[in-house]
Amino acid sequence: MNYNWNWGIFFEASPEGNGTYADMLLSGLMWTIVTALCAWVIAFAVGSVIGVLRTLPGRGAQMVGNAYVELFRNIPLLVQMFLWYFVLPEVLPESWGTWLKQLPNAPFYTAVVCLGFFTASRVAEQVRAGIQALPRGQRMAGTALGLTTAQTYRYVLLPNAYRIILPPLTSEFLNNLKNTSVALTIGLLELTARARAMQEFSFQVFEAFTAATVIYIIINLIVVTVAGVIERRVAVPGR
């Protein structure tokens, strides 16, 4: 292999004209983080609601929850990205579609919504598992004290369920963060997209992807560390 190593490449000006290659990667990292956080807000909120629906006694609520989960977790994320970005504007009424296509930062909004809804289906499954892992008597005790169903979930079931599912939820957050890279296919300039651009501009493929790899690992290790801190903070004494 005849390859010219050049680790100094990161400090050379990028052809985009506004900074070095390192700046380019960092701006990609910023988009990765912002996209992941925004998508997680949607995933956590929607996933919690859907997960709760699947544990309610009513058949209707369960069916809505099941339909959501099966729809969003059985279509590949990449296909979902294309559906949201390329197909949705075409099937909507024309004025809406045009508005969507002209939206500034459309790849970002699309990636957030798509990734959020996709991850929500997985969060929902974990929330359901967490609630079902609780002793049946917990729900009964809340109900017997006169708490409404909503209050029983809010004050009894969910606080316990979230504690149980914190470790798998951490994994889900990591997946969510890594899955932002799929959004490069719809033009989001996140970290992987920026590494690829760097490779194409400079031909330093190893340096570019080594940097991206290291940055992903560091970010995810930070997430794992923070999750560990949260886990200890919310741990219930005597358990």
Candidates 81, 48, 235; CA nearest to 150 is 48
User: Taking the C-alpha atoms of 119, 128, 49 and 152 in order, what is their torsion angle to the nearest 10 degrees?
Assistant: -150
Quote the least distance from Cβ 163 to other proteins, whole Å: 7
Cβ-based nearer residue to other proteins, 93 or 146: 146
- CB closer to other proteins, 157 vs 186: 157
| Least distance to other proteins, CB of residue 43, Å | 23
Alpha carbons 17 and 128: distance in angstroms, whole number: 50
Report in angstroms how near the CB of residue 36 gets to other proteins at its nearest.
28
Give the nearer residue to other proteins in terms of CB position, either 163 or 196: 163
Instruction: Please state, in angstroms and rounded to a whole number, the distance separating the CA atoms of residues 148 and 152.
Output: 6
**Contacts to other proteins by CB under 8 A:** 135, 137-138, 140-148, 151, 155-156, 159-160, 163, 236-239
Q: How far is the CB of 135 from other proteins (least distance, A)?
A: 7
